[in-house]
Amino acid sequence: DSVPAPNFIRYIIDEDLKTSKFDKRVVTRFPPEPNGYLHIGHAKSICLNFGLAAEYKGTCHMRFDDTNPGKEETEYVDSIKEDVQWLGFDWKEHLYYASDYFDRLYEFAVELIKQGKAYVDDLSADDIRLYRGTLTEPGKESPFRNRPVEENLELFEKMRAGEYEDGACVLRAKINMAAPNIVMRDPALYRIRKVHHHRTGNKWNIYPMYDFTHCLSDSIEGITHSICTLEFENNRELYDWVLDELKVYHPRQIEFARLNLTYTVLSKRKLIELVTQGHVTGWDDPRMPTISGLRRRGYTPEAIRKFCERIGVAKRDSMVDMALLEYIIREDLNKSAARVMAVLRPLKVVIENYPKDQVEEMEFVNNPEDPGMGSRNVPFSRVLYIERDDFFENPPKKFFRLGPGREVRLRYAYFVTCVDFIKDEQTGEVIELRCTYDPETKGGNAPDGRKVKGTLHWVSAAHAIDAEVRLYDHLFTRENPNEGGDYKECLNPNSLETLTGCKLEPSLANSKSGIRYQFERLGYFCLDSKDSSSKSLVFNRTVTLRDTWAK
């Protein structure tokens, strides 16, 4: 609905369309490696690639970059598909796997060997590294660099046939060991890996490297704009070299800055560590910055898409404040979430002058932001629960909630006055309030015009349902967990607070996974899609009502 902001990528595409560089087509791709679950950084790339394709009436390919067997699993493929679809994008018939190109990639490699542009190198991995040189020093040529074409063809065929062990040799591009760009110093194109592949099984003993696979996959698929993150800027020269040497269709690689978010990490390697070392309960732990974690936490796809549009794309790396993501989901849920009452830390209240067996149905507006959402009835009776911290024995100044002798409004019900309180003899903790109500104030207003400052939420004790409620805080205590030591040292020990025995209004007994609520005065919540059952409800707090982190 909103007009997309201009950015440098749209500018490049507009120019290409004007000059008919790619026959006025726009074909992008999202190319995840299936070695982990997608995170919010990937969402930026998904929104960009699918978004541009939609905007220019082109297509966006979903391509699994699955050339790294062992680390890749079908579970990841399935989760990635689910997450992209959940975000609202559709690749239609354009689902591809780089592994489907293994035969053609092999032929391309043979072609390079025949052109004298690739050779089999027997140097060990360590020696290859040593020979590579540094930024200030040129590299050294391998003694195997000038093998005759015939010998290279034979050796490469033997590599493929499985005659050598992992690491015995590699196929390298023959470019320039003195190139200023280290990526161009005879990069590896193929390595031996006798590992089962999730799609090609044991067919291959050699696997192509990323830099060889990616450009050719883009070329085979007729991609026009191959958008990747800034780390690949140096690899563009190799991307172009491979396609030029093979004289095949040549897409344009464009780099943009990856998303970094405060108080979290966006690297699959680190997220895997959090999962396998048990710092979180899984990839979809609601504290994780993964798409599945955010979904379980209660985030909507609309909010994530809006966030990605809002942060834009740039050429320079930067850090985005997590508070922006929270602001956007809050705005979204404010419009769409039904208001309900839930008491997280219950304190019993007895209304002494309210008839013992009486129950009244109080009418509640479901969402003041959206009259179309209607209203519902909530039962009121003599014994209620309110939030424990809505009562103070000695209320501080400016505290407008309950205290001895004070009067407050119970939301959509009555004015009540606290006339007494009971303490636990052992702990000294207040365990029960005794109040009176004013029957004239039904609905929440006094006919005599008297005002009260505080309005509390409540639930009727006899009608309340029990639930567990999980409150979340940042996973890390440092704004940038990657700075100033190992990121795991700043894991937040209080990132999860589990409250049991919470009391909810009875309408919540029918809540379903995927419905989001505003618990009045407490924040936005949703049912936990994994741990909740009709017998024992579990709710997650998506976000608080106000930004409590802002300093």
Rounded distance, CA 136 to CA 154, Å?
36
Contact 412, 443 (CB under 8 A): yes
- Under the binding rule (CB under 6 A), the answer on residue 228 touching ligand ATP is yes
- Under the binding rule (CB under 6 A), the answer on residue 259 touching ligand ATP is yes
Sign of the CA dihedral running 142, 148, 235, 202: negative
Task: Find the residue with minimal CB distance to Mg ion.
Answer: 33
Is 33 assigned to a binding site? yes
Interacting stretch for ligand ATP, rule CB under 6 A, among 17-25, 38-46, 125-133, 539-547?
A: 38-46
Secondary structure of 416-480 in the HEC alphabet? EEEEEEEECCCCCCEEEEEEEEEHHHCCCCCCCCCCCCCEECCEECCCCEEEEEEEECCCECCCC
- Under the binding rule (CB under 5 A), the answer on residue 100 touching Mg ion is no
Least Å distance, CB 269 to ligand ATP, is 6
Is 65 assigned to a binding site? yes
Rounded distance, CA 349 to CA 521, Å?
19
Nearer to Mg ion (CB atom), residue 33 or residue 233: 33
Given Mg ion, ligand ATP, none, residue 228, with its beta carbon under 5 to 8 Å by kind, binds ligand ATP
| Contact string 268-307 vs ligand ATP (x = CB under 6 A) | xx--------------------------------------
**Amino acid identity for residue 409 in this structure:** R
Single out the residue of 258, 310, 434, 521 in contact with ligand ATP (rule: CB under 6 A): 258
Least Å distance, CB 543 to ligand ATP, is 21
Q: At what angle do helices 102-114 and 149-161 cross, to 10 degrees?
A: 160
Contact 467, 272 (CB under 8 A): no
75 a catalytic residue: no
Active-site residue, from 10, 21, 25, 33: 33
Exposed, middle or buried: residue 220 (CB in 10 Å: 0-12, 13-18, 19+)?
Answer: middle
Rounded distance, CA 322 to CA 73, Å?
30
345 a catalytic residue: no
Interacting stretch for Mg ion, rule CB under 5 A, among 28-36, 279-287, 442-450, 497-505?
A: 28-36
Rounded distance, CA 327 to CA 310, Å?
12
β-partners of residue 379 are 361
Contact 415, 403 (CB under 8 A): no
268 a catalytic residue: yes
Residues 3-32 that bind ligand ATP (CB under 6 A): 31-32
Least Å distance, CB 175 to ligand ATP, is 24
Least Å distance, CB 33 to Mg ion, is 5
Q: Which of 63, 533, 68, 75 is nearest to 275 (CA)?
A: 75
> What are the residues binding Mg ion (CB under 5 A)?
33
Which segments are annotated as binding site for L-glutamine?
65, 210
Binding residues: 33-35, 39-45, 65, 210, 229, 258-259, 266-268
Q: Which residues define the annotated binding site for ATP? A: 33-35, 39-45, 229, 258-259, 266-268
